[in-house]
C-alpha cells in the first residue's frame, strides 16, 4: 500500500459531473482528489483485504443468528424492544440484503482490522463504483498506467446483478432525505442500476412517503410501495412516527430490518465477544464494561449510533488526543486504536465494499487529522504487481 | 480482472436529479436577531420576515376559550392568555419563531405539542432544532428543514391502489442530517 502523487486529469470536473457526481468538491475544496492515488500489489488486495472482508462478513452473519435471540445483547445494542420480533422474523425469512461497506484499519502490513460496518446506509458508492473506475480507465488509455494494472472494483456489475435477484418485480421505490445532494445522488445511482436490472425505479423523498388505511406505504401518486430502498437508517426509522408501520412487513425493505444489528457500533463489541482475538477484529467493549480495562492506552470512544465521524474521541492514556463534536449521545463503545495508514500527518481509511454477500471493491478516504469525517477526501486506487 | 468489464449509466447525468415533490428549503428562527446572527439572510429580509409573520400571528392565530383547549393543540408551554378590555379574555398560541426561505411565504411558528424541541408551522410543517436545545429561545439557530406531516393530504384512489391517509411520518429523526455515511 503506497501513496503516490498523480496529476489530475484536466477535465476531471466535467467527467465527474457527466455521471451525476456533482458533489465532487465541498466549498471549492476537492472531495474527489485525484492529485494522489494509492497503489496496492495484488497479494495485499486478495490476501489481506478480500480475505479479511469475507471473514468479517461471515462473522457478521453468524453474529446476527446469535443476536436476534439474545435479549441481553439487543438491550446492549439499544434496539427498541417493540422491534425485536420483527428483526428476528426478517432474519428467519432471509430477507435479502444488497450492500454494505466495512471501514477497515490497514497499512499494508498484516490483517485488516474492522473499525465499523456501514451496513445499512453506506454512501461514497457512485464515486467508488463509477468515478474511480473511469479515472482508472482514462489513465490506462492515456498510457499513464501500465496495461498490466487493474483495480479492485466490480461494484457496479455486482449491484446490477444483485438488484435483478432481489425477488423484486416491477417498481422499486428509492427514498432519501430531500435536502442532501449526496444522498440523492446515491439513490439516483442505484435507480440507474435498478433500471439496468430490469426494474422500474421511482425516486422519492423519505419525507414524502405516505401511509394508507391498511398501513401500507404510498408514493406521491398514492401508489402502494411494494419494494423500498431507503437511504435512511433503521435506527431513525424505528423512532419516526411511521416506524411502527414497518412491523407488519408492508413491503420489501432494502436494507432489510435485520441490518439494524450490524450497522450499530455495538456490533464491534459483540463480534469481539463472539470471536475473541480474531485477527480481523480490534479489541472492543461497551463503555462501562469492566473488561474494557484490558484495552491498552490507545482507545477510541464511539457512540453506538454515531455517524460520519461525529462525537469520536481518541484517548491516549488519560489524555484525549483528538475528538470531534456532534449531536450523538447515549451508550458508546471503547475500541483499541487500529493500524491505520499514516503518511505525513494524513490518515487513510479503507472502505471495503460488499454487494449481495460478496467482497467486490474498495474506496480510500483520507483525512488530514486522525478522525475520518464527512470532510475526508476520496483518493482513487489501482493494483500493480 | 478485479474490476467491472464495463460501467455504463442509463439515467445518471442525463436528467435533472431532483426528487419530485421536494419542498423549497425552509429556515426558522426564534427572532429577527437570531436570523441576522445566523448570517444566511440580509438583516432587512430577516426583519421584514419577522414583522410579516408577527402580523399574521396577531391576525390569524387561533383563539381558544380555555387554556386546556389551547394546551391540547400547542402543549403546556405553547400558549398565552390575552385580555380584552371590557370583555372576557382568551388563549392563543405563543409565537415562538417564524419561518422563511426561498420561495416560501413568511409564517409564525408555534410549539409542537409532540416534541419539546420542535416548532410547527402552517400545514403541520415541522422544524427541529439541531444546533442544541431549543427551549431557551434566544439562541440564534437554524432549524432543520421542514418536513410536512399529513392531515390534509389528498386521498385520490386508483385501481388497485389505495388512498393515502397520512404523509410525512419519516424524516423527523434525521434532524436534517444526511442519512448516508
Question: Each residue of A43-63: pLDDT tens digit?
Answer: 999 999 999 999 999 999 999
Mean pLDDT of A103-111: 97
pLDDT at B18 (0 to 100): 66
Q: Is A144 inside any structural domain?
A: yes
pLDDT at B26 (0 to 100): 65
Q: What sign has the CA pseudo-torsion A318, A323, A328, A333? A: negative
Cβ atoms of A212 and A242 closer than 8 Å: no
Q: Is A195's CB within 8 Å of B148's CB? A: no
Which A residues 154-183 touch B at CB under 8 Å? Answer: 154-157, 175-180, 182-183
Residue B164, min C-alpha distance to chain A (Å): 4
Determine if residue A193 is left, alpha or beta; phi over 0 gives left, psi from -120 to 50 gives alpha, anything else beta.
Answer: alpha
| A66 and A185 assigned to the same domain | yes
Nearest Cα residue to A135 out of A149, A121, A122:
A149
Q: Is B169's CB within 8 Å of A242's CB? A: yes
Question: Each residue of B28-44: pLDDT tens digit?
Answer: 888 888 888 877 778 99
pLDDT at A71 (0 to 100): 97
B4, B161, B168: residue with CB nearest A222: B161
Higher pLDDT, A324 or A104: A104
| A323 and A184 assigned to the same domain | no
A302 phi/psi in degrees, rounded to 5: -135, 135
Element at A172 (helix H, strand E): strand A171-176
Which chain A residues have a beta carbon less than 8 Å from that of B162?
212-214, 216, 218, 222, 224
| A167 and A149 assigned to the same domain | yes
Cβ atoms of A86 and A253 closer than 8 Å: no
Query: Which of helix, strand or coil describes residue B6?
Result: coil
Asked if A231 has any chain B CB less than 8 Å from its own CB, the reply is: yes
Q: Is A383's CB within 8 Å of B156's CB? A: no
| A100 and A165 assigned to the same domain | yes
Mean pLDDT of A7-30: 92
| A92 and A114 assigned to the same domain | yes
| A19 and A64 assigned to the same domain | yes
Lowest mean pLDDT among A117-121, A343-347, A379-383, B57-61: B57-61
pLDDT band at A356 (very low <50, low <70, confident <90, very high): very high
| A23 and A161 assigned to the same domain | yes
| A167 and A315 assigned to the same domain | no
Residue A150, min C-alpha distance to chain B (Å): 7
Residue B19, min C-alpha distance to chain A (Å): 6
Q: Is A129 inside any structural domain?
A: yes
The last residue of one of the domains, among A315, A337, A359, is A337
| A123 and A216 assigned to the same domain | yes
pLDDT at B129 (0 to 100): 55
Q: Is A270 inside any structural domain?
A: no
- The residue range of the domain holding A172 is 2-264+343-383
Under 8 Å CB pairs connecting chains A and B tally to 210
Asked if A277 has any chain B CB less than 8 Å from its own CB, the reply is: no
| A188 and A324 assigned to the same domain | no
Is residue B20 predicted with pLDDT exceeding 70? no
Max mean pLDDT range (A216-220, A306-310, A366-370): A216-220
Cα A308 from Cα A180, distance rounded (Å):
14
Is residue A67 predicted with pLDDT exceeding 80? yes
Cα A248 from Cα A215, distance rounded (Å):
8
Strand partners, A302: A333
Q: Is A242's CB within 8 Å of B147's CB? A: no
Report the complex ipTM.
Answer: 0.92
| A242 and A323 assigned to the same domain | no
Which chain B residues have a beta carbon less than 8 Å from that of A185?
17
Residue B48 CB partners (closer than 8 Å, separation 6+): B106
Strand partners, A210: A218, B167
For A135, nearest residue in chain B (alpha carbons): B7
B2, B148, B164: residue with CB nearest A151: B2
Average pLDDT of chain A?
A: 95
Give alpha helix (H) positions in chain B: 32-38, 43-60, 67-74
Q: Is A253 inside any structural domain?
A: yes
Q: Is A250 inside any structural domain?
A: yes
Domain count, chain A: 2
| A173 and A240 assigned to the same domain | yes
pLDDT at B123 (0 to 100): 57
Q: Is A208's CB within 8 Å of B161's CB? A: no
Is residue B62 predicted with pLDDT exceeding 90? no
Residue B141, min C-alpha distance to chain A (Å): 15
Question: Each residue of A276-287: pLDDT tens digit?
Answer: 999 999 999 999
pLDDT at A90 (0 to 100): 97
Residue A316, min C-alpha distance to chain B (Å): 26
Which chain B residues have a beta carbon less than 8 Å from that of A26?
none
Q: Is A277 inside any structural domain?
A: no
Question: Each residue of B144-167: pLDDT tens digit?
Answer: 333 333 222 222 333 344 578 888
Higher pLDDT, B3 or B109: B3
Q: Is A118 inside any structural domain?
A: yes
Cβ atoms of A260 and A234 closer than 8 Å: yes
Q: Is A314 inside any structural domain?
A: yes
Determine if residue A295 is left, alpha or beta; phi over 0 gives left, psi from -120 to 50 gives alpha, anything else beta.
Answer: beta
Cβ atoms of A138 and A10 closer than 8 Å: no
Tell me whether residue A29 is exposed, middle or buried, using C-beta atoms within 10 angstroms of its C-beta: 0 to 12, 13 to 18, 19 or more.
exposed
Amino acid at each position: 500500500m503506497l501513496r503516490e502523487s498523480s496529476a489530475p486529469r484536466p477535465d476531471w470536473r466535467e467527467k465527474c459531473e457527466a455521471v451525476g457526481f456533482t458533489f465532487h468538491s465541498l466549498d471549492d475544496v476537492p472531495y474527489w482528489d485525484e492529485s494522489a492515488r494509492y497503489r496496492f500489489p495484488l497479494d495485499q488486495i486478495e490476501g489481506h483485504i478480500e480475505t479479511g472482508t469475507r471473514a468479517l462478513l461471515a462473522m457478521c452473519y453468524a453474529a446476527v443468528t446469535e443476536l436476534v435471540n439474545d435479549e441481553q445483547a439487543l438491550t446492549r445494542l439499544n434496539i427498541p424492544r417493540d422491534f425485536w420480533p420483527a428483526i428476528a422474523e426478517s432474519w428467519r425469512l432471509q430477507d435479502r440484503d444488497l450492500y454494505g461497506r466495512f471501514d477497515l484499519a490497514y497499512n499494508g502490513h498484516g490483517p485488516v482490522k474492522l473499525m465499523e460496518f456501514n451496513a445499512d446506509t453506506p454512501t461514497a458508492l457512485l464515486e467508488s463504483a463509477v468515478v474511480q473506475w473511469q479515472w482508472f480507465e482514462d489513465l490506462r488509455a492515456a498510457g499513464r498506467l501500465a496495461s498490466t494494472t487493474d483495480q479492485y472494483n466490480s461494484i457496479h456489475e455486482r449491484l446490477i446483478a444483485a438488484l435483478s435477484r432481489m425477488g423484486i418485480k416491477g417498481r422499486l421505490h428509492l427514498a432519501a432525505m430531500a435536502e442532501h445532494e449526496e444522498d440523492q445522488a446515491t439513490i439516483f445511482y442505484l435507480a440507474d442500476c435498478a433500471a439496468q436490472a430490469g426494474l422500474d425505479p421511482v425516486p422519492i423523498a423519505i419525507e414524502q412517503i405516505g401511509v394508507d388505511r391498511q398501513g401500507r406505504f404510498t408514493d406521491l401518486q398514492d401508489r402502494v410501495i411494494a419494494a423500498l430502498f431507503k437511504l435512511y437508517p433503521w435506527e431513525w426509522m424505528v423512532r419516526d412516527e411511521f416506524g411502527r408501520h414497518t412491523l407488519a412487513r408492508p413491503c420489501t425493505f432494502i436494507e432489510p430490518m435485520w441490518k439494524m444489528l450490524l450497522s450499530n457500533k455495538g456490533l464491534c463489541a459483540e463480534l469481539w465477544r463472539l470471536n475473541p482475538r480474531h485477527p480481523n477484529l480490534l479489541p472492543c467493549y461497551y463503555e462501562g464494561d469492566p473488561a474494557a480495562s484490558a484495552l491498552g492506552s490507545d482507545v477510541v470512544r464511539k457512540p453506538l449510533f454515531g455517524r460520519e465521524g461525529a462525537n469520536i474521541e481518541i484517548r491516549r492514556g488519560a489524555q484525549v488526543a483528538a475528538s470531534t463534536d456532534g449531536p450523538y449521545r447515549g451508550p458508546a463503545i471503547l475500541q483499541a486504536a487500529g493500524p491505520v495508514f499514516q503518511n505525513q500527518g494524513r490518515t487513510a481509511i479503507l472502505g471495503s465494499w460488499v454487494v449481495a454477500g460478496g467482497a467486490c471493491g474498495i474506496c480510500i478516504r483520507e483525512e488530514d487529522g486522525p478522525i475520518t469525517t464527512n470532510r475526508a477526501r476520496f483518493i482513487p486506487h489501482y493494483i500493480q504487481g | 480482472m478485479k474490476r467491472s468489464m464495463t460501467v455504463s449509466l442509463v439515467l445518471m447525468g442525463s436528467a435533472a436529479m431532483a426528487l419530485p415533490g421536494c419542498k423549497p428549503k425552509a429556515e426558522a428562527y426564534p427572532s429577527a436577531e437570531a436570523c441576522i446572527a445566523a448570517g444566511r439572510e440580509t438583516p432587512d429580509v430577516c426583519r421584514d420576515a419577522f414583522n410579516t409573520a408577527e402580523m399574521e400571528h396577531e391576525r390569524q392565530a387561533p383563539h381558544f376559550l380555555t387554556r386546556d383547549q389551547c394546551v391540547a393543540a400547542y402543549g403546556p408551554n405553547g400558549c398565552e392568555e390575552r385580555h380584552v378590555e371590557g370583555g372576557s379574555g382568551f388563549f392563543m398560541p405563543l409565537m415562538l419563531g417564524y419561518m422563511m426561505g426561498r420561495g416560501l411565504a413568511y409564517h409564525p411558528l408555534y410549539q409542537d405539542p409532540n416534541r419539546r424541541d420542535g416548532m410547527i408551522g402552517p400545514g403541520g410543517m415541522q422544524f427541529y432544532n439541531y444546533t442544541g436545545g431549543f427551549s431557551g429561545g434566544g439562541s440564534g439557530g437554524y432549524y432543520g428543514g421542514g418536513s410536512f406531516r399529513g392531515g390534509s393530504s389528498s386521498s385520490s384512489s386508483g385501481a388497485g391502489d389505495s388512498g393515502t391517509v397520512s404523509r410525512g411520518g419519516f424524516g423527523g429523526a434525521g434532524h436534517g442530517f444526511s442519512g448516508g455515511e
